[in-house]
Amino acid sequence: MIRPLIVLLLTLLSALPASANPALEAVIARNLDQIEKPSRRTVEPLVAEIAATGPEGLALLSAWANRSLGVSDNGRLLIVEGDSATDAVTGQPVPGADLTMLRPNSGVRGVIDSALVAGEISSPDPARRASALASIARDGTAAHLAALRGAPPEADPTLAQQRERATNLLAIRFDTDPAARVAAINGLAGDVGLDFRAALNPLLATTRIAAPAEPQANIVRELTVGDSDFPKEAAIALLTTQGVLQPRLTPADQRNALAANIVNGTVSGIPVADLSDPAARDRAYEALEAAGTVPPAATDAEADAALAANRFFETYAEPNPDVTDAARAAQVRAQVRLAAMTGIDLGLDALSLASIYFLAAIGLAITFGVMRVINMAHGEFIMMGAYTGYVVQTLIPNRTLSLVAALPLAFVVTFGAGVILYRLVIRHLARRPLETLLATFGVSIALQQLAKNIFGTQARPLTAPAWLEGAITINDVISISSIRVAIFVLALLFLGLFLFIMKRTRLGLEVRAVTQNPGMAASMGINPDRIAMMTFGLGSGIAGIAGVAIGLFAQVTSELGQQYIVQSFMTVVVGGVGNIWGTLAGAGLIGILSKVIESFNPSNTLAAQTFMILFIIIFIQFRPRGIIPQRGRAAEA
């Protein structure tokens, strides 16, 4: 009821002719010289006064802050927009005015801005209230705190919540009453937002001081010299910075002092040639000290005396212990929840990595299971799939469409490549895994170089459609990019498809038969050669699809496959062969493990990979046949 009325009123007001806002007119007339030359310290009441005069006042303030306010010869304030100027009070256009632009400094603009924001909070328009809150959250001041507290109750529940949060955050920083700050901290307890943690940090900032007796301060704890986090050197350095102790002599200073005092090839009677011995240097320096040529340096004895005479404390910069206690408790809670959330985030990351490894390794596992051969060119099939995706994208501009076309096409291309490789090479090396490994390696280097020759060495883009870009964000901590979710879904899809083929189709039955006993299968009329060819093609085809998926988030280069091949091998080895669940378990284990190890030291992914490989080598000790081994007497042979 009320809101449309206000809007109507405002429209009417702005339509009124000159001198529509006499209050503003009066304020300006009284303070024109201060508006022209404002000072950060004194401008605040003036700004508040102008803001109180209504919409024209706010418009004037906003122009002032934006440096688009000018003052004319006759003392009128004009708002300049491009080439035209309007009178700030009347809103009438003033053509051809002779203006001096006002250029308030940043301090003044800050004051104006906060006043504006404070005004905005009470704005009838929810969008403007929201943007005002966002602006306060970004860069709040003590004035905002007062404005927030003074503002009329918020009707919109979301905004009300946001406002309460902003008020609490500002109270933690700016409120003068400790009890209010504690209340604010407790009001936000359990929150893991970055801004809350940032607000807590300055409260918990500590400094170390040395003093003969316990100082009047908010003490965290007393430090013991020699503890692991407070070695003697740190104590001495602290004493030196506080001026209690003379600076100790650095070796470089000592050498320079000695060099400055060489007389006839000796320093205080000690030949220069002997000064390669640190003890001789000390003796020479002491002699110089005794002669008064060099300033005395703190000796070990002095240092020890100073250490003994002083106690060392860690103190909070914040004087009120209630506040620091509350802040500490809130921080601990935040950290615990944060750790839990980081764990969830890590789990999501690990899941997505595991899906990638699963997709990359599943083809390898199938061929290994059926034929006992490792296809070293598997990585190149992944690469081939990625390049297929790239080529399709250059032909079909619509990204969604091209992706839909690329997935089956990549499968077809790599399926064909796999079948050709099988017919030409692998079939002739049947039951000789090591030879197959090497021959397929030859294929791998040839394919890699071929890709270089065709596509060049620079990375080719394979761009995801818009609906796959971005991320699903749950809060500051937990988020996962849409592509990775898509890959996870793809991996699930393939797991399902694979299970369907293996358990529900004739091909699957024959594949399982050949895997378990090729001789027996052959005598039942199954052609093991055809089955091997089909599974090899299938494995290669899945590699192609994995290639498209990987290409969406990684760079498509001729070395793309190499980056995943070793991990794929590991997945197969760790998981155990001849069983899709083994591959799944292997991919899961390796994915989780890489992420967990990485989380210990996020900056050093190389170390993480090293440790992961070491872990796998050790793991093989205990499960030589993988997590889910092939069982039965056939596997023993």
Partner 1 sequence: MSALLEVDSISVSFDGFRAINNLSFNIGEAELRAVIGPNGAGKTTFMDIVTGKTRPDKGDVKFGTPSKSLLKMNEAQIAREGVGRKFQRPTVFEDQTVAENLTMALKAGRNPFAVLGWRPSKASVARVADLAAEVGLAAQVARKAGELSHGQKQWLEIGMLLAQEPRLLLVDEPAAGMTLAEREQTTALLVRLAETRAVVVVEHDMDFVRRLNCKVTVLHQGSVLAEGSLDHVTRNPDVIEVYLGR
Partner 2 sequence: MTRKPFILRNPSILVVLAVLAAFTLVVTALSAAYGNGVIPTSTVKVLGKTLCLALAAVAMDLVWGYLGILSLGQMAFFALGGYLIGQWLMYARTEGIVAASLAQNPIPPTAQELQEGVANQIFGVVGSADLPLVWSFAHSLPLQLLLVVAVPGLLALVFGWLAFRSRVNGVYLSILTQAMTLALALWLFQNDSGFRGNNGLSGLQNIPGLDAVDQATLSVWFLWASALALALAYVLAAWVVSGKFGSVVRAIRDDETRVRFLGYPVEGFKLAVFTLAAMITAIAGALYYPQAGIINPAELMPIASIYLAVWVAIGGRGRLYGAIIGAVVVSLLSSWFTGGRAPAIRLPGYTVNWVDWWQVALGISFVLVTLFAPKGIAGLFDWLAGALPPQRHGRDLGPDQGALQEGEAKA
Using CA atoms, how far apart are residues 97 and 99, in angstroms rounded to an integer? 6
Q: Please report where in the chains the tokens 């690329």 appear, as a residue.
A: 406
Over the window 597 to 636, marking each residue x when it contacts partner 1 by CB under 8 A and - when it does not, the resulting string is ----------------------------------xxx---
202 belongs to the binding site for partner 2 (CB under 8 A):
no
C-beta of 57 vs 586, nearer to partner 2: 586
Q: How many residues does the chain have?
A: 637
Residues 345 to 384 in contact with partner 1, rule: CB under 8 A: none
Please report whether residue 470 would count as binding partner 1 according to CB under 8 A: no
Residues 148-187, interacting with partner 2 (CB under 8 A): none
441 scored as a contact of partner 2 (CB under 8 A): yes
85 vs 570 by CB, closer to partner 2: 570
With respect to partner 1, which residue has the nearer C-beta, 75 or 632? Answer: 632
Using alpha carbons only, what angle is made at residue 558 by residues 556 and 561, rounded to the nearest 5 degrees?
80
Q: Which is nearer to partner 2, 299 or 562 (CB)?
A: 562
Q: Are 51 and 58 in contact (CB under 8 A)?
A: yes
* Helix-strand-coil split of the chain, %, nearest 5: 65, 10, 25
- The DSSP line for 405-464 is HHHHHHHHHHHHHHHHHHHHTGGGGTT-HHHHHHHHHHHHHHHHHHHHHHH-SSPBP-PP
Binding pattern for the stretch 576-605 against partner 2, x by CB under 8 A and - elsewhere: ----------------------------x-
Shortest Å distance, C-beta 106 to partner 2: 38
Total residues in contact with partner 2, by rule CB under 8 A: 60
Q: Beginning with the edge strand found earlier in the chain, give each strand of the sheet holding 69-72 in spatial order.
A: 84-87, 77-81, 69-72, 99-101
Neighbours of 103 (CB within 10 A): 9
From the list 135-143, 268-276, 305-313, 501-509, the region that binds partner 2 by CB under 8 A is 268-276
CA–CA distance from 336 to each of 192, 323, 341, 453 (Å)? 9, 20, 9, 53
User: Long-range contacts: 235-239, Cβ < 8 Å, 24+?
Assistant: 235/210, 235/307, 235/312, 236/303, 236/306, 236/307, 238/208, 238/209, 238/210, 238/312, 239/210, 239/303, 239/306, 239/307, 239/310
Q: Which is nearer to partner 2, 435 or 476 (CB)?
A: 435
Q: Is 353 in the site for partner 2 (CB under 8 A)?
A: no
Residues 151, 365, 443, 468: which binds partner 2 (CB under 8 A)? 443
Cβ-count burial of 489 within 10 angstroms (0-12 exposed, 13-18 middle, 19+ buried)? exposed
Among residues 124, 295, 624, 632, the one that binds partner 2 under rule CB under 8 A: 624
Q: How far is the CB of 582 from partner 1 (least distance, A)?
A: 16
Site string for partner 2, 507-546 (x = CB under 8 A): ----------------------------------------
Q: Which is nearer to partner 1, 446 or 635 (CB)?
A: 635
- Judged by CB under 8 A, the stretch of 47-55, 193-201, 342-350, 367-375 that binds partner 2 is 367-375
Q: Is 68 helix (H, G, I), strand (E, B) or coil?
A: coil
Q: How far does Cα 383 stand from its chain's mean position?
A: 29
Task: Compute CA 273 distance to the chain's CA centroid, rounded to the nearest angstrom.
Answer: 56
Residue from 599, 571, 584, 587 nearest 346 by CA = 599
258 binds, among partner 2, partner 1, none (CB under 5 to 8 A by kind): partner 2
Confirm if 357 and 590 have CB atoms less than 8 A apart: yes
In 469-562, the DSSP E strands lie at 471-473, 479-481
Asked whether position 372 contacts partner 2 by CB under 8 A, the answer is yes
**Residue 127 interacting with partner 2 (CB under 8 A):** no
* Segment interacting with partner 2, rule: CB under 8 A, options 184-192, 337-345, 578-586, 620-628: 620-628
Q: Measured between alpha carbons, how far is 64 from 69 in angstroms, rounded to an integer?
A: 5
* Residue 120: Cβ within 10 Å count: 21
Query: Residue 248 interacts with partner 2 (CB under 8 A)?
Result: no
The interface partner of residue 632, options being partner 1, partner 2, none and the CB cut-off 5 to 8 Å by kind, is partner 1
Give the Cα separation of 437 and 552 in Å (integer): 29
Residue list 446-485, contact with partner 2 (CB under 8 A): 446-450, 452-453
In the complex, the smallest distance separating the C-beta of residue 526 from partner 1, rounded to whole angstroms, is 24
**CB-nearer residue toward partner 2: 547 or 626:** 626
Residue 138 and residue 135: Cα distance in Å, rounded?
A: 5
Phi-psi domain of 91 (left: phi exceeds 0; alpha: psi -120 through 50; beta: other): left
- Kindly tell me which of 503 and 631 has the beta carbon lying closer to partner 1: 631
Q: 3-state class of 496 per DSSP?
A: helix
User: Candidates 105-113, 204-212, 333-341, 434-442 — which segment interacts with partner 2 by CB under 8 A?
Assistant: 434-442
User: Which residue lies nearer to partner 1 by CB, 526 or 577?
Assistant: 577
Residue 21, classed as helix, strand or coil, is coil
The one of partner 1, partner 2, none whose footprint includes residue 59, by CB under 5 to 8 A per kind, is none
Q: Is 272 in the site for partner 2 (CB under 8 A)?
A: yes
Name the helix (H) or strand (E) containing 477: none
Residue 275 sits in the site that holds partner 2 (CB under 8 A):
yes
Q: In the stretch 548-577, what mask flags binding to partner 2 with x, by CB under 8 A?
A: --------------x---x--xx--x----
100 forms bridges with which residues in the sheet? 71
Q: Which does 620 bind (CB under 5 to 8 A by kind): partner 2, partner 1, none?
A: partner 2
Q: Does position 138 bind partner 1 by CB under 8 A? A: no
Which lies closer to partner 1 via its Cβ, residue 37 or residue 633?
A: 633
Using rule CB under 8 A, residue 620 touches partner 2: yes
Residue 616 binding partner per list partner 2, partner 1, none, with a CB distance cut-off of 5 to 8 Å that depends on partner kind: partner 2
Structure tokens at 452: 């270089």
Q: Are the CB atoms for 363 and 543 separated by under 8 Å? A: yes
- Interface with partner 2 by CB under 8 A: which range of 70-78, 169-177, 256-264, 306-314? 256-264
Question: Which residues bind to partner 1, rule: CB under 8 A?
Answer: 631-633
Question: Which residues bind to partner 2, rule: CB under 8 A?
Answer: 251, 255, 258-259, 262, 267, 272-273, 275-278, 281, 368, 372-374, 425, 428-429, 431-435, 437-439, 441-450, 452-453, 562, 566, 569-570, 573, 604, 606-607, 609-610, 613-614, 616-618, 620-622, 624, 637
